[in-house]
Amino acid sequence: MTGPSTRLHPGLRAAFAAEAVAVVRYTYFAQVAEVEGHAEAARLFTEAARSAECAAHGHLDFLRYAGDATTDEPIGETELNVASAVSGVLRDATESYPELVAAAHAEGLADVAGWLTTVAALKNAHTAKFERVLAQLTEHAFASAPTGPDLE
């Protein structure tokens, strides 16, 4: 199977990102609607979010052959997926969030800086967890391959 063309690929990636964001937006909007007592609107948002999630996964079904839509790392099998997750979350923890924290402080938004600091801490925790799983998977791969790793 061949992946999408170079022209189609960026479009598909953008569509994936939009659907993924829609899932979170709708879930958030549903919570607001519930709090405000608009049960029908809440239900609509919740159902739309679930469909958008399914659509986003559908985009990934095609995109996975071209690599992770976020990190560009190759994905597919769990070992590759975990490696891609490590690469993404490591960048969040060590670059993206620290930069944002500094920017928030520079703008005098102490609470925003405080918030981003806690998220950076979460990303650090995730990095450690994913790295641990990756190490286990790699170890397992070595152990189960009697002739050593298959270097392509």
Q: Does 137 contact other proteins by CB under 8 A?
A: no
Burial of 127 (0-12, 13-18, 19+ CB in 10 A): buried
Nearer to other proteins among residue 30 and residue 69 (C-beta):
30
User: Smallest distance from the beta carbon of 4 to other proteins, in angstroms?
Assistant: 34
> Is 6 strand, coil or helix?
coil
Q: Does 31 contact other proteins by CB under 8 A?
A: yes
Q: Does 35 contact other proteins by CB under 8 A?
A: yes
Nearer to other proteins among residue 50 and residue 140 (C-beta):
50
| C-alpha Rg value of the chain to the nearest Å | 19
Q: Which stretch binds other proteins (CB under 8 A): 3-11, 26-34, 48-56, 67-75?
A: 26-34
**Amino acid, res. 72:** D
User: Smallest distance from the beta carbon of 99 to other proteins, in angstroms?
Assistant: 17
Q: Does 94 contact other proteins by CB under 8 A?
A: no
Q: Rounded to an integer, what distance in angstroms lies between the CA atom of residue 29 and that of residue 42? A: 7
**Amino acid, res. 34:** E
Contacts of 119 (CB under 8 A, 6+ apart): 97
Q: Does 109 contact other proteins by CB under 8 A?
A: yes
Nearer to other proteins among residue 33 and residue 69 (C-beta):
33
Q: Rounded to an integer, what distance in angstroms lies between the CA atom of residue 128 and that of residue 111? A: 26
Count interface residues toward other proteins (CB under 8 A): 25
Q: Rounded to an integer, what distance in angstroms lies between the CA atom of residue 119 and that of residue 127? A: 12
Which residues of the shown chain bind other proteins in the complex (CB under 8 A)?
31-32, 34-40, 105-106, 108-111, 113-115, 117-119, 121-122, 124-125
